[in-house]
Structure 1
Amino acid sequence: MSNKAGIPQGTRDFNAATVQKRNYIFQTIRTVFELYGFQPLETPAMENLDTLMGKYGEEGDKLIFKILNNGLDNPAKQSQIIEDFNKILDGKNNKGITERALRYDLTIPFARYVAMNYGQLTMPFKRYQIQPVWRADRPQKGRYREFYQCDADVVGSNSLLNEVELTAIYATVFERLQLPVEIRINSRKILAGLAELCGGQELMVPITVAIDKLDKIGIEKVKEELLQRGINQDQILIIEKYLSIDGVNEAKIEQLKQLMGNNPTAIKGIEELEYILAYHSTKYSSKIVVDFTLARGLNYYTGVIFEIKAIGAQMGSIGGGGRYDDLTGLFGVPNVPGVGISFGVDRIYDVLEELKLFPEAVEKGTKVLFFNLGIQESKTAFYLMQELRESGIAAELYHEQSKFDKQFKYAEKKQVPYVVIIGSTELTEGTCIIKNIVNGEQKTISQQELVTQLF
């Protein structure tokens, strides 16, 4: 009895049309990355478990896909394996069972790469990376267990010009995709200042983890979670005032200044946002939104943070990132500042589909089908087909001699716009019939004219 075919939940197959649309997104992003001087990098699908664990906060660590070690079916090790596995069930990682994991994102592997190759890299080092990542999340619309990320990062520079340029990259990519977005920005320094205002830096993690869920669970649930995390009512009142700040960018910043007073940490964060806004005060000002509810609940962010929202689409964020100074210090190379952004390609794809923004020309397929009408006819068709291919025109020769009707149906199903017919008469006269499947127009031309007629 055969098993029913299927794929793991949260993963997908991609047909030709989907792959072509995804490649359109990839190529648009890649072109802009390279326009800004970023170079490509690829890292392994799996990393050592200790490379990943503890880098994404308590919520992120739960979503890391761990890989079982080889040889776990060894009968001689069964008792030890059971003992080790029980330790994992108790929440402890055990190298006897698992010591590798699928990468959760591209930032930590990048930091590991920089740490391993620091002496050979030209600083500041600018790289982009387009590869799949895996998260053991609950699958839902726009949230998959396997998905692609497109990252651009700069390490070795403290300059806020990097944040300015990354903002411009976001704006440029989405302009080219003709997708209207909001580029939301905040600073983790402002959130650190909020924690200090509430009582101390030790409150930073519980506050940011709760705030990061605001869009999903609402303010009342956030307040409940803050209470559960040990934040008292007076502190929650300050956080609620912070989250209620509203208006245009300038008005929000003024309200924040009043709330934070002379807190030096918050003032530094505000200055960072004002710096970026000043650079983009003309062309991209309408796209940039200061959003103090933005938290990016990953522990490694230290400065400006980004999140991208598509306008007019039912979708969460389609991109994000931020400053993560000294991330390489986690791997023994301290004091290397960095900042990066990421594009959520799968979500961008879903939004472009929802808003019908993919160009028609994206779905490229066979342009010409040659009918197969006999041995000599097909040989002539083959030579002409090769000429078309050398000229960059996608062409096929029907795989066997068949009735006209069958070959026409094949062309229609594959949405091939032109068919070329070479029968015995055309073979003798050195001509061919070219027919436009879309409008039904048909004409006879010399075989030598075929390439020029189709350009």
Structure 2
Amino acid sequence: MKPSLAKGTRDFTATEIVNRRLIINTLQKNFELFGFQPLETPSFENLSTLTGKYGEEGDRLIFKILNSGDYASKTNEEDWAAKNSQKLISQISEKALRYDLTVPFARYVAMNHGQMVFPFKRYQIQPVWRADRPQKGRFREFYQCDADVVGSESLWQEVDLVQLYLKSFSDLKIPVSLHLNNRKILSGLAEFAGISEQLIDFTVALDKLDKIGKDGVVKELLDKNIAQESIDKLDFLFNQSENALDNLRTLKEKFAGNEIGTKGVEELEFVLTKCLDLGISSDSLKFDITLARGLDYYTGAIFEVKANHVDMGSIGGGGRYDNLTEVFGVKNIPGIGISFGLDRIYLVMEELKLFPENVDHSVQYLFANYGELESLEAVKVIAKLRESGISAELYPESSKLKKQFTYAEKKGIPNLVFFGEEEISAGKITVKNLQSGEQDTISVEDFLKTI
């Protein structure tokens, strides 16, 4: 059978891995610069830990793991015969691959909060899995790079995370715009339109505005039995000013007597004004009233990062989730976090040609193989190079020099070293730079000193 990859997964070459590490190292440096500590959680969780945290659409995308052994024999015969998948899931699957890093982190906090010092700041860089339809920039297995703070309601955390986002993308040389909203504003809008009981339907549809347009959003709202009268009340959402603070002032007027909506406006106003006071350009920050992020657990600020001039969708996102640990029986632990989409960031940097060239030349010196005795002497020199942190290797077979040249060129190794019988007896070594064509013969002692 011809081998193939599972849909939505990829193999990574040496160049791709080195480029991905460049992104990860940049993010890790900034996470630690901002006071976050590393954490890792298991690749799979109890299914009950994950379900009910991502909304109806998210729950469908969780990869379930079949129970070990003869899982079919333990199912209800009627459910099995009826092929009732919803009832069968709980009978044949108790575990699932993690869908994101936030819910496992909340589970960790709930289990360990008694030993933690709050506010607790952690970052996490690990793969997650979603049974989504693969497309450009969307995979079934991909990495998330998260930074979260729990145990503080201070809006300065939002301001700090805005700075973390913008510094990280500046270091990666990616021009971005950071879109902000507040879940309380969305709740206020639902109350304003008289559709509070359909808040989730409203926000899920609104979040798709950039994909399906105004007509598509209106159609989806009507399909969810939201009255045309309510939709008309919300028509102003589709005609926003370029000035974020002007839009917030408009909302304040509409939210007169609307407590939750007013609270959301005040919170977002604080974050925006403080960021502007810090010298952050208004071009980098956009109040996006239609931004919903589509996840049930957000309760306050919502973030989404988009790369300028690249058609890629969001390359980062997050928000405040003050109630998340309550589902694990632990109350009053507010939290906020952001995520960087490593795979989409990679595609953006590739499209913008931001990766340095020839970054995968890990081997600097290839020693030609002249036979067993010469190879032993070459390996002694190679060992000294490696002690100095320089990558070098011996060509494994005593082949024709042309073949060894070809190997070095194809591997992108910049230097070919000749250390044959003549050089060994003279205590010298010959190094040919395959990029410039220059060749030098010097003493082994001088070669190691120079290196």
For this structure pair, what is the TM-score category when the shorter chain's length is used for normalisation?
A: over 0.9
Matches of 1:86 and 1:310, distance apart in 2? 50
Q: What residue in structure 1 maps to residue 354 of structure 2?
A: 357
1:336 shift after superposition: 0.9
Q: What residue in structure 2 maps to residue 253 of structure 1?
A: 248
Amino-acid identity (%):
54
Q: Is the 8 A contact 2:369 2:399 kept in 1?
A: yes
1:361 shift after superposition: 6.2
Q: Is the 8 A contact 2:177 2:284 kept in 1?
A: yes
Matches of 1:70 and 1:385, distance apart in 2? 49
Q: Is the 8 A contact 2:195 2:230 kept in 1?
A: no
- Residues 389-425 of structure 1 show CA distances to partners (whole Å, capped at 9, x for unaligned) of 1111111111011111010000000000111111221
Q: What residue in structure 1 maps to residue 48 of structure 2?
A: 50
Q: What residue in structure 2 maps to residue 118 of structure 1?
A: 113
1:367 to 352, 364, 369: 364
The answer on 1:329 being equivalent to 2:326 is: yes
1:164 shift after superposition: 0.9
Matches of 2:182 and 2:207, distance apart in 1? 13
1:385 to 372, 382, 386: 382
Query: Where does 1:235-274 land on structure 2 (aligned, <5 Å)?
Result: 235-274=230-269
Q: Is the 8 A contact 2:176 2:308 kept in 1?
A: yes
- Structure 1: give runs of 5+ residues left out of the alignment: none
1:241 shift after superposition: 1.2
The answer on 1:148 being equivalent to 2:146 is: no
Look up the equivalent residue of 2:12 and give its one-letter code: F
RMSD: 1.7
Task: Give TM-score scaled by structure 2 length.
Answer: 0.96
> 1:251–1:362: structure 2 CA closer, same or farther, 3 Å change rule?
farther
Matches of 1:451 and 1:254, distance apart in 2? 69
Secondary structure, in 3 states, of the residue corresponding to 1:100?
strand
Q: What residue in structure 2 maps to residue 22 of structure 1?
A: 20
The answer on 1:162 being equivalent to 2:160 is: no
Secondary structure, in 3 states, of the residue corresponding to 1:186?
strand
Q: What residue in structure 2 maps to residue 188 of structure 1?
A: 183
1:284 to 258, 280, 286: 280
The answer on 1:68 being equivalent to 2:66 is: yes
Secondary structure, in 3 states, of the residue corresponding to 1:114?
helix
Matches of 1:144 and 1:182, distance apart in 2? 23
1:49 shift after superposition: 1.0
1:86 shift after superposition: 5.4
Secondary structure, in 3 states, of the residue corresponding to 1:451?
helix
The answer on 1:234 being equivalent to 2:236 is: no
- Residues 71-115 of structure 1 show CA distances to partners (whole Å, capped at 9, x for unaligned) of 1267xx27x465444577353354321111111111111111111
Q: Is the 8 A contact 1:318 1:348 kept in 2?
A: yes
Task: Give TM-score scaled by structure 1 length.
Answer: 0.95
Task: Identify the range of structure 1 (372-381 vs 393-402) with the bigger mean alpha-carbon deviation.
Answer: 372-381
Matches of 1:155 and 1:246, distance apart in 2? 34
Secondary structure, in 3 states, of the residue corresponding to 1:360?
coil
The answer on 1:319 being equivalent to 2:322 is: no
- Structure 2: give runs of 5+ residues left out of the alignment: none
Q: Is the 8 A contact 1:81 1:97 kept in 2?
A: no
The answer on 1:417 being equivalent to 2:414 is: yes
Secondary structure, in 3 states, of the residue corresponding to 2:298?
coil
